[in-house]
Amino acid sequence: FGQAGFAHTPPPGFSALSTGNLPTPTIAKGVTYFDVLTYDDGAGAKTFDNGTVSMQPDLVRVKSRGSAYDHKLTDSVRGVTKALESNTTDVEATESTGLTAFGSDGFTVGADTNYSDTTGDGMVAWNWKKSATAGFNIVGWTGDDDGFSGGTQAVAHGLGVAPEMVIAKNRTDEAGGNGNWIVYHKDTTSGDLLKLNTTDGEFTPNSTLIGSIGSTNVSFGNDSLGYEYLNSDNSFGSGTADTYIGYFFASVEGYSKVGSISGSSTAFIYTGFRPSFILAKRYDMTGGNWLMFDDKREGYNVDNDDLMANSSAVEATTDHIDILSNGFKVRTSDADLNGGTLIYLAVAKNPFKYASAR
């Protein structure tokens, strides 16, 4: 098509401007640790359709695209049939016909329509494999503070670097708290947190809820005045200690990125890879949804449909973003993505070195 070689040899210490000369990434294929799956065939085993890589997921998040059903999260730490919902404050439920198995290359769901809806556009599932190499881990812990002492608990996250985003939830809520999903993101105002299940902006806890963030541990405590608990043993109630689950994320060059940008209708967000999944939120206002995009629904620009992590609403077809070979671009003036600071978590389809145009 008219291409030609370089007219001049690059000087010593330099390389030609070519993706082939980029450093080899740690993770060459995103599907080694993350994959998106759509299905509409009801209950049964669901197998990833990436053609080359087998991946047994540790976190499976499913949502009906065409019905107003809840987001369902099941992970290998809590075990199969143990479900939480990112759009509610509900405690963990045992759902015998929900997610029933983690397979060597997928998962199995039962007849519960929250997991196997065949109406409308069917289902979508976002799937992570826990790995320090991929900057993602899942950890459970039991509270050891009475809820009023202000004591914190250091929980080892296993990443080897400080996590840049933490999503934590009370599984049992014996202490009678609000049961919100508490989110730490490195780019919010220092000391402030967010709630995954609401459209609220950032908030400042009355006392330590998520404290020090280190390369080994994250400290969790209780905001007794705000009725938010991440370390209560409930000794002032039934005596049954609360249990918790945490999802820990750190950026990995060429595979994942936790970041932020000042939003505008022309904003380009550089990630260094073609995203397969994006979670984004305006944190500086009340009313901002947690928007979720991926490269399977619909799978082409500009029709990247969104679901909202904080809502059971059906899939929206608003043209919000383009997914590009090295990031994503905002294509809307919608307030959820514009007018303030946007935080995001993005996971790669392919690193830029191996990405191709959509």
What pLDDT does residue 353 have? 55
For residues 231-240, average pLDDT: 77
Q: Is the pLDDT of residue 89 over 70?
A: yes
Q: Cβ distance 141 to 244 under 8 Å?
A: yes
Using CA atoms, how far apart are residues 214 and 166, in angstroms rounded to an integer?
Answer: 12
Q: What is the pTM of this model?
A: 0.92
Task: Inform me whether the pLDDT recorded for 175 exceeds 70.
Answer: yes
Question: What is the mean predicted confidence (pLDDT) over 261-266?
Answer: 73
The least confident of 16-30, 110-124, 234-248 is: 16-30
User: Would you place residue 170 in the very low, low, confident or very high pLDDT band (cuts 50, 70, 90)?
Assistant: very high
Q: Comparing 10-19, 153-162, 180-189, 321-330, which segment has the lowest mean pLDDT?
A: 10-19
pLDDT at position 20 is 65
The reported pLDDT for the residue numbered 236 is 63
Give the pLDDT confidence score for residue 141 in this predicted structure: 98
Q: What is the mean pLDDT of residues 229-255?
A: 89
Most confident stretch, 202-216, 227-241, 296-310: 202-216
pLDDT digits (tens, 9 = 90+) for 57-78: 999 999 999 999 999 999 999 9
Q: Cβ atoms within 10 A of the Cβ of 110, count?
A: 18
Per-residue pLDDT at 357: 55
Q: What is the dihedral of CA 214, 196, 38, 111, to 10 degrees?
A: 110
What's the mean pLDDT in 87-115?
98
